[in-house]
Structure 1
């Protein structure tokens, strides 16, 4: 059965764009590097293309760049199964867990000496292997409207209790005209982000409530997850979130924030600068994810966002490392960080990004990896998004959601283990 599957994947690979076997026979006679990336915005892609063109001119090596968009994961799964990956590819948060066995070790490269220490646990293993070059790094927390907090005398919250108090104050003092905490729930990833982001302070960072072992070995008691659903449901009952939380779309966010109608949201990225283009008087900031347990500290959630990993079996591995070295030059690293509005992955590169002052202010806050990437089987992100919608739509209660999450967690773990066994036959 496995041989039939691999044959099927091989046939698919023949029609996928950018196979290194196709590119290496280009009639230009030049070596060609094939790159796959998850970059999504025009500014990100255009800056990357510009730098790639400069590399081509300097090195004489062709670069073929592909941005598959929503098809990225499916394409990469096909390529991994057939062991025919692009010369360079984006691990987008899965450098060690999903792509680790396919990546070349980059520890001998000069830029690794400047790797931001926050990324050590995410991009390096205990023996020192470096899995990928981080073009930038995610630091997710809560985006907020500074104008509103200043108007009502609210300090940026550092705990969940303070966060809830801030939401209540905003609702009361604005007479309900400002949405304290806004969700774009039409896209269920908005709820998945809530669960995933707050699961870390709930279950990981506080020593007295550390569930790492149980989550990894499959014995986790999902009733301990109910707190997050209870909290979200209570916010809804008190009208601390938008009444259209299930149907609201991300496309509404920028305009509403620019009109001073939203106080907090979980959307980061280019939100601040996008709002400033519409209304420069509205100041958007970002803070770390608040702590849940007493005595714990706020944290950033993230790790690497966009990366360049080199396929260990690439026929152009030397040239792939040459491209990475080019992109890791401080001037180029700074340019990419600014194009993506996120901090560089290198400690010696200070980029002029919208949230630079916020990241500087909270520079001592620890960066924790995304919860689902370390502790949940593939597919649970989608489940968390769905149950969030079902909670707010009054389809499931918080307890019922925990039971459903437990069932899906078990099912997806077993599915993953079965597939792993088949692949090793």
Structure 2
């Protein structure tokens, strides 16, 4: 009996390594697609993970490795670009052409490109027709507002800066100061950067009589023309149209205050409306395009690409990367991702059920302009804009001093960018 057991055990030991080797061989045979994304919320990431798992079930020979580096994303990608060692698929987060263009495979031959929203053409395509990335969704930034408050005081959503200022003053007067007309989460300097970046487009780009594209592009722009935005923001502060704690307020306060009907306007979009509704379903949050500044000009959406998938042109798995993009571009899958991110799809054949769907439909004919800093400012200016806003609101610098500072930083960062570009080409 003892000899029988030893023989049986020996057979088991002989069989097990073989099974293990077969399994290991099967796993090794799989091709791994590495994907880096800037998605930040749990709902966005969870939906992306579920779709990636569904793709793996359809493609047994492909494994998907998802990465969400968070705040380290940009620095990580710069290092990888310098080494020409990018992920198989990656998020261009607004820089599809300018920053990542030379690293991306051309996607023009893919079926979904026939349904690419024309608003994204200037951002994701070049003149020869190259398509740089697949848009998982698209940003349309404007002003978020409390419908209840505007309805209560008989105020129409403003279409011009003059109308916006009148609306803010009326809200302050009629609420006797109990409602903040325009709320900033200035502890995070991106709140001020968003103000400058968003309103710079109607100030300097969209009106033909005040078009500074050429000057901004060739470096001859006079920053005194930017002072209007600082003057306006400072005037709002002097008239107490902003929250008193605009420099120290945190984004985490916004949802609760809006749900208590204590805020009329803010620059925060995204999931704000649905987050407020979960706390107080009676409060209705809407979104409107960015008001025009010059007489005769029209309101605009600010945005373009938000989350994307670009394929690294030198990836050993470009074919598989395109298969994954095709999978994500299926209408049902594209709809899931758009709804998870609370933003419109980048495809015209996908209608997502998102919180601001009615607003986006109402303003469907309003033009979408790219983010100002992505087209006209050197890398690093976003942080400069944010800090400038904090310094203005804290009475550290005057509007004129802000413009001088922006001019100096603009020149410094342009020169730095040109130097780095020259070094990379050597």
TM-score by length of 2: 0.94
Tell me how large the CA RMSD over aligned residues is.
Answer: 10.2
User: Which residue is 1:90 aligned to?
Assistant: 91
Q: Secondary structure at the match of 2:72?
A: helix
C-alpha contact 1:141 1:287 (8 A) present in aligned 2: yes
SS of equivalent residue, structure 2 residue 95: coil
Counterparts of 1:341 and 1:333, CA distance in 2: 12
Deviation at 1:291, TM superposition (A): 0.2
CA deviation vs aligned residue, 1:135-184 (integer Å, no higher than 9, x gap): 00000000000000000000000000000000000000000000000000
Structure 1 stretch 27-36 or stretch 225-234: which is displaced more?
27-36
1:134 touches 1:305 (CA, 8 Å); kept in 2? Answer: yes
Q: What is the distance in 1 between the residues matched to 2:351 and 2:339? A: 10
Deviation at 1:281, TM superposition (A): 0.3
Which one is further off, 406-415 or 22-31? Answer: 22-31
Shift of 1:28: 3.5
Contact kept, 8 Å, 1:32 with 1:62, in 2: the verdict is yes
So what's the TM-score if we normalise by structure 1?
Answer: 0.94
* Aligned-residue offset at 1:422: 1.1
Are the counterparts in 2 of residues 204 and 211 from structure 1 also a CA contact under 8 Å?
yes
* Distance verdict in 2 for CA 1:227–1:177, change over 3 Å: same
Instruction: Specify whether residues 22 and 298 from structure 1 end up closer, same or farther in structure 2 by C-alpha distance, changes over 3 A only.
Output: farther
The alignment partner of 2:35 has SS state of: strand
Who wins on radius of gyration, i.e. which is larger? Answer: 2
Distance 1:34 1:251, change over 3 A: same
Could you list the per-position Cα deviations for residues 275-312 of structure 1 after superposition, in whole angstroms to 9, with x for gaps in the alignment? 00000000000000000000000000000100000000
Judged with a 3 Å threshold, the aligned counterparts in structure 2 of structure 1 residues 182 and 319 are, in CA distance, closer, same or farther, namely: same
- For the residues of structure 1 that align with 2:238 and 2:357, how far apart are their CA atoms? 36
Seen in structure 2, the aligned counterparts of structure 1 residues 32 and 144 have a Cα distance that, compared at 3 Å, is same
- Other structure's SS at 1:401 match: helix
Are the structure 2 counterparts of residues 23 and 272 from structure 1 closer, same or farther at C-alpha, using a change threshold of 3 Å? farther
Q: CA deviation at 1:12?
A: 44
Q: Deviation at 1:410? A: 0.3
Residue 8 of structure 1 and its aligned partner are, at CA, apart by 55
Which residue is 1:56 aligned to?
Answer: 56
Structure 1 position 11 matched with structure 2 position 11: yes
Structure 2 gap ranges (5+): none
- Residue 42 of structure 2 is matched in structure 1 by 42
Q: Name the CA shift for 1:19/1:95 in 2 (closer, same or farther; >3 Å).
A: farther
Quote the offset at 1:10 in angstroms: 47
- In the TM superposition, structure 1's runs of 4+ consecutive aligned residues that sit over 6 Å from their partners are 1-26
Deviation of residue 15 (structure 1)?
37
Q: Offset at 1:29?
A: 2.0
Q: Quick one: distance in 2 between partners of 1:8 and 1:410?
A: 79
Q: Alpha-carbon deviations, 1:88-109, whole Å to 9, x = none? A: 0000100000000000000000
Q: Distance in 2 between matches of 1:422 and 1:77?
A: 14
Partner secondary structure for residue 28 of structure 2:
coil
CA contact (8 A) 1:104 1:310 kept: yes
